[in-house]
Each structure stands twice: as structure tokens, then as C-alpha cells.
């Protein structure tokens, strides 16, 4: 990661004597303006949060990503006005991922890289995992013994996880009550992330938590497997009680800090990249237009036409329309908010298909419809389109036979693959409620506040100019997000650091300097030393 040479020169300068307000000041040799901490004290900075805080990027936690975390960028600026060291529980390599007793777990890494590959059947730019195997072991006592660490960000953490005393207990990995990223550096199995942070007696803290409280529901398509954290409830249960406990504890000894709110999931590429209507004749024909046209005609005659007629009879003809040979067509999805017409379709198809097959068609298409622009197709769904459903993901308990064996084309994409409008509305309501709680506590406790929801919304709505670049939410090429479509790129993290610094300066009268985002890469390359 490139550094701003101006700030490298400043590191060697000697701190001037503090004034009567304990305000740390350093001379800025480049423009004559003094650097000052204002009323903040950065001598012991501790960062709390989730994957964003840790520097997670490209689907993994790896050393270069941790170096480029917005928290680390901030800490380097804090050093110029009296800030102390910022210790990070670094992973061992730039492959990314974790080992569990020497064994690879495919759920953790390796990181992704952009391979520039496109084809007729896969027209979007593709990403692949880097080669190699992680050397970062979860059960390495030396890592925990090397603490305490100032960056306590834990990938995957929800708000209430920071209060859990067993979140770092190795025994809890089997039942999901512990997190391997925290197990790796936790001092023991009975210390919460919050208690770990407080044990360092912070003079300044950053807290960006709550993203996963809604994001987990969103990335699972709202299928219920990862519910939204309740807005109200006691600490460890509801967001208001939990966030109140976090902020009250962090400020209990007089520490100042900065907090950030939660962006809408609709502003990130993970939910905006795959179109709702990718089914062109080229895609359906694997690059052969004639084959694609023939496929469309066959689908209309054998599936879409009969479905359209039957649904029209039951007053739901708008769910399905015939496919076009000249325009891209929408995906076939399941919408659990629709009236279930399984029984009606079964009765309608029984005379021609027989009772058993008709019952299957009824079960599959009772809540089926074609996607619209209001539906959000998950980035990970891209790899499922056109693939055969399995017993695990078909929704009927078995792998459907041909010709109903192509997700999104002849078989509806199930709940986990799509966010429908009612689910998007649930997410917005929860996010708005969380953000009101965060802002209220920031104001009542006198903390700096970062409106991440606002600036990420701007990035999504045309982009934000920064140091000669325009940061947008476009997947791969927008400069803001990494290849997992959720976490920031190196440049995105630098921009976020600057927004935090702006908020700190405004609240505490400091004049910390932001970094030049142009000095940070858009994406990490496949090979990193």
C-alpha cells in the first residue's frame, strides 16, 4: 500500500510541549499549519467493530488488508499528534483464510482476485480465489499471548457479540457461540470484546458496529436463517440495549470517541450487480443466437405459456409473461409474499400431467413469478443461474428432474438467492431504527458521528470525487468496494478513514490531515508479497 510521503516525513518530527488544555501539537513542515489533537487524547486508541474495522477485503482477512484498514490509517494520523502504537493481530500471509488445527476450512478464505475473464455464458467480469493455502492458525496461543491488540475488530460480529463473554471460547466454535477470528487473539474464553478493549484503558475509541445485524439477513436472501437483530431489548438481545451498553461502558472513564451509523444494504454492489433480467437469447443459447431463439420458443410453448394461461385463470396472470427473443428476460423466482396457488395449479395441470407430476408443478410454481427491477439478486446468485437445484436448495427436499433443473430459467430461484421488496423494506426499517439509536447516543455522550449511510448513498448515486478519482459503487471498477461486493477496497478504506477524520476534527477541534486516496490501490493484485 502506498503511503503519503508528506506524512512519512512528519513521523520523525519531535512533539512540541502540550498547552494548558493538554492539547498535543506538532509542527507541519509542509504548509506551516500546526497539527493538533484538539480536545481529544489519542495516546491509547482502541477500535471496536466487525470486518470493516479489521480491514477485511476481497472475501478474506489477510495481512495487506489489515494494514489498509481505515482504523490503521486513522491510527497513523493520530501518531502525529501524540497517538500511541496501534497493535493489530496480523494474519500470517496474504492468501487469506484460517486453519483449524492445521486443517483448511473452505468457509474462510482465500481472498479473491479479478481475472478479467468474460464469456457468452458468463458476460460479467469474474473473480477467482488466489492460489495457495493460508498459514494462519486459529489455535495459536502465541497470537493471544502477543496482545493486547488495539484493533479488536472481529469479522462477522453483530452488535450483541461484543458483549458475549464466550465469543472467544474455542469450545463455542462447534455451536456457533464463538468466532474463530476472535478465538485467535482473545486472551481467554471468558473475556468479551468490550471487556478486552476496556482492559487497555482507552483514551479514544472508534465504534462501527451493527452492519451485520442487518447484513446477515440480507446476504441470506431473508430466508430466516440469519434474522435481523431486534431493535429493542436488553443488552445482548436488542440493538438499543446493546448499543447503549457499549457506548456507556466505553465512555465510563472519560474516553472520547467516534461512532458511525449503518448504510443501507441497497447501496453496496453485492445487491446491485446481477441484473433481474439477464436471460438473453445469447445467454440461453450459450453464445449461439439460433439456439437461444429456439430455447425461448420451446420454453414459451412448454412452460411459460401453460403457466401464464393457468395463472391468468386464477387472476394472477401478471406473475408470468412469455419470454422475448429480442430483449433480455427476467429471472424466474419464488416470492413467499405471494398467495400460494399450489393447490389451484395442481388441479389445473392434473388432467394433462397426471396427479403426481401436477402436484410437483403446483408445489414448485405456486409462488413463482418473474423478477422485476424492485428485486435484488444477490451477487453470489450469479453462479447459481442456470445450474441444477439440489435436494438442499430446491425447496422441495429433492433435486428436480429435467427439464425443471435450471435455476432462474425453468425452476424458481429460492428465497436465499433473492431479496424481494418486502424483505428490502424490513431491512430499511431496522437500519433506520438502528441509526436513530446511534445518532442519539452519539449526541448524548458528546461523540464524533460519521454518517456512513449518507456518504455511501452518495457513492451509490453518481459517485463522490476524491483526489482525482470518482468513487462509485460499481462492482470491480468503481474504486470503493472490493471483490466480495460488500467490503471496501484499499481506496475505499482510505476514503472511509478520511470521513472519520473529518468527523473527529469537527467534534474535537483537531486538524488531523486526511490521506490522498489516489495513493491507495483500487484492487489488490493476484500476487502480493
Assigned C-alpha cell, 142:
502465541
Check whether 511 has a pLDDT greater than 90: yes
pLDDT value at residue 115: 85
pLDDT grade, residue 123 (50/70/90)? low
Nine cell digits for residue 411: 425452476
Q: Within a 10 A sphere around the Cβ of 165, how many other Cβ atoms?
A: 15
State the CB neighbour count (10 A cutoff) for residue 283. Answer: 20
Query: What is the reported pLDDT for 84?
Result: 97
Instruction: Give the closest residue to 506 by CA, choosing from 465, 457, 446.
Output: 446
**Distance between CA 197 and CA 211 in Å, rounded?**
20
Q: Give the integer Cα–Cα distance in Å for 382 and 407.
A: 10
Helices and strands counted in the chain (H then E): 17, 16
- At residue 294, does pLDDT exceed 50? yes
Quote the pTM value: 0.91
Backbone region of residue 476 per phi and psi (left: phi > 0; alpha: psi in -120 to 50; beta: other values)? left
- Across the chain, mean pLDDT equals 92
Q: What is the mean pLDDT of residues 374-402?
A: 96
Cβ-contact 36, 509 below 8 angstroms? yes
Q: Between the CA of residue 47 and those of 51, 70, 152, 257, 258, what are the distances in Å?
A: 12, 10, 6, 10, 10
Looking up cell 502504537 gives: 85
> How far apart are alpha carbons 179 and 165 in whole angstroms?
12
* Domains within the chain, CATH numbers bracketed: 39-87+141-272+422-519 (3.40.50.1110), 281-329+332-370+376-419 (no CATH)
Task: Determine the pLDDT at residue 218.
Answer: 98
Beta bridge pairs of residue 465: 470
Q: How far apart are CA 366 and CA 524, in angstroms?
A: 45
Per-position DSSP letters for 30-80, written without gaps between them: TTSPPEE-TT---SSEEEEESHHHHT-BTTB--HHHHHT-HHHHHHHHHHT
Write out pLDDT tens, residues 356-368. 999 999 999 999 9
* pLDDT-wise least confident of 24-38, 363-377, 427-441, 480-494: 24-38
Strand partners, 418: 377
Kindly report, residue by residue over 37-60, the tens digit of the pLDDT. 999 999 999 999 999 999 999 999
Q: For residues 471 and 453, what is the distance between their CA atoms, to the nearest angstrom?
A: 15
Residue 423 has which C-alpha cell?
424483505
- State the pLDDT at residue 119: 57
For residue 106, with 0-12 CB atoms within 10 Å meaning exposed, 13-18 middle and 19 or more buried, which class applies? exposed
- What percent of the chain clears pLDDT 90, i.e. is strictly above it? 90
Give the separation between CA 232 and CA 242, rounded to whole angstroms: 9
Measured between alpha carbons, how far apart are the two ends of the chain, in Å? Answer: 11
The most distant pair of C-alpha atoms in the chain lies apart, rounded to whole Å, by 91
Give me the pLDDT at residue 529, please. Answer: 80
Contacts of 183 (CB under 8 A, 6+ apart): 138, 139, 168, 169, 170, 173, 189
Q: Answer positive or negative: Cα dihedral of 397, 399, 401, 403.
A: positive
The pLDDT value recorded for residue 126 is: 80
The three-class DSSP label of residue 192 is coil
Tens-place pLDDT, residues 473-502: 999 999 999 999 999 999 999 999 999 999
Amino acid at each position: 500500500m502506498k503511503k503519503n510521503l508528506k506524512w512519512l516525513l512528519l513521523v520523525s518530527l519531535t512533539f512540541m510541549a502540550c498547552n494548558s488544555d493538554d492539547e498535543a501539537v506538532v509542527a507541519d513542515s509542509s504548509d506551516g499549519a500546526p497539527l493538533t489533537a484538539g480536545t481529544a487524547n489519542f495516546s491509547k486508541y482502541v477500535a471496536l467493530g466487525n470486518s470493516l474495522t479489521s480491514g477485511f477485503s476481497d472475501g478474506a482477512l489477510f495481512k495487506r488488508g489489515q494494514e489498509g484498514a481505515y482504523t490503521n490509517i486513522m491510527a497513523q494520523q493520530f501518531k502525529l499528534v501524540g497517538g500511541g502504537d496501534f497493535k493489530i493481530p496480523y494474519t500470517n500471509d496474504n492468501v487469506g483464510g484460517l486453519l483449524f488445527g492445521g486443517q483448511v476450512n473452505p468457509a474462510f478464505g482465500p481472498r479473491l482476485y479479478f481475472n478479467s475473464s468474460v464469456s457468452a455464458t458468463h458476460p460479467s467480469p469474474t473473480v477467482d480465489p488466489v492460489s495457495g493455502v493460508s498459514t494462519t492458525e486459529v489455535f495459536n496461543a502465541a497470537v493471544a499471548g502477543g496482545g493486547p491488540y488495539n484493533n479488536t475488530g472481529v469479522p462477522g460480529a453483530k452488535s450483541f457479540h461484543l458483549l458475549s463473554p464466550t465469543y472467544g471460547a474455542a469450545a463455542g466454535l462447534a455451536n456457533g457461540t464463538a468466532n474463530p477470528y476472535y478465538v485467535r487473539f482473545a486472551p481467554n474464553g471468558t473475556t468479551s470484546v468490550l471487556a478486552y478493549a476496556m482492559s487497555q484503558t482507552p483514551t479514544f475509541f472508534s465504534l462501527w458496529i451493527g452492519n451485520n445485524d442487518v447484513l446477515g439477513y440480507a446476504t441470506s436472501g431473508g430466508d430466516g436463517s440469519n434474522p435481523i437483530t431486534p431493535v429493542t431489548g436488553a443488552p445482548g438481545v436488542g440493538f438499543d440495549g446493546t448499543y447503549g451498553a457499549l457506548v456507556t461502558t466505553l465512555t465510563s472513564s472519560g474516553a472520547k470517541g467516534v461512532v458511525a451509523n449503518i448504510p443501507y444494504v441497497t447501496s453496496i454492489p453485492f445487491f446491485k450487480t446481477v441484473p433481474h433480467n439477464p436471460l438473453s437469447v445469447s445467454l440461453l443459447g450459450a453464445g449461439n443466437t439460433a439456439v437461444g431463439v429456439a430455447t425461448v420458443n420451446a420454453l414459451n410453448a412448454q412452460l411459460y405459456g401453460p403457466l401464464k394461461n393457468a395463472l391468468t385463470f386464477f387472476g394472477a396472470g401478471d406473475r408470468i409473461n412469455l419470454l422475448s427473443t429480442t430483449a433480455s428476460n427476467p429471472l424466474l423466482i419464488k416470492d413467499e409474499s405471494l398467495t400460494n396457488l399450489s393447490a389451484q395449479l395442481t388441479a389445473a395441470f392434473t388432467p394433462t400431467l397426471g396427479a403426481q407430476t401436477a402436484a410437483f408443478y403446483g408445489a414448485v410454481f405456486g409462488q413463482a413469478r418473474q423478477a422485476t427491477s424492485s428485486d435484488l439478486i444477490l451477487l453470489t446468485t450469479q453462479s447459481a443461474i442456470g445450474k441444477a437445484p439440489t435436494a438442499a436448495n430446491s425447496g422441495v427436499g429433492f433435486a428436480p428432474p429435467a427439464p425443471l433443473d435450471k435455476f432462474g430459467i425453468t425452476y424458481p430461484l429460492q428465497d436465499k438467492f433473492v431479496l424481494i421488496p418486502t424483505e428490502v423494506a424490513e431491512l430499511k426499517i431496522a437500519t433506520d431504527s438502528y441509526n436513530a439509536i446511534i445518532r442519539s447516543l452519539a449526541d448524548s455522550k458528546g461523540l464524533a458521528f460519521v454518517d456512513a449511510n449518507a456518504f455511501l448513498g452518495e457513492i451509490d448515486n453518481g459517485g463522490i470525487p476524491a483526489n482525482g478519482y470518482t468513487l462509485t459503487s460499481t462492482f470491480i471498477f468503481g474504486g470503493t468496494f472490493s471483490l466480495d461486493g460488500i467490503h471496501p477496497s484499499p481506496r475505499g478504506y482510505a476514503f472511509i478513514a478520511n470521513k472519520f477524520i473529518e468527523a473527529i476534527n469537527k467534534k474535537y477541534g483537531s486538524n488531523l490531515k486526511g490521506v490522498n486516496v489516489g495513493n491507495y490501490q483500487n484492487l489488490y493484485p493476484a500476487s502480493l508479497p
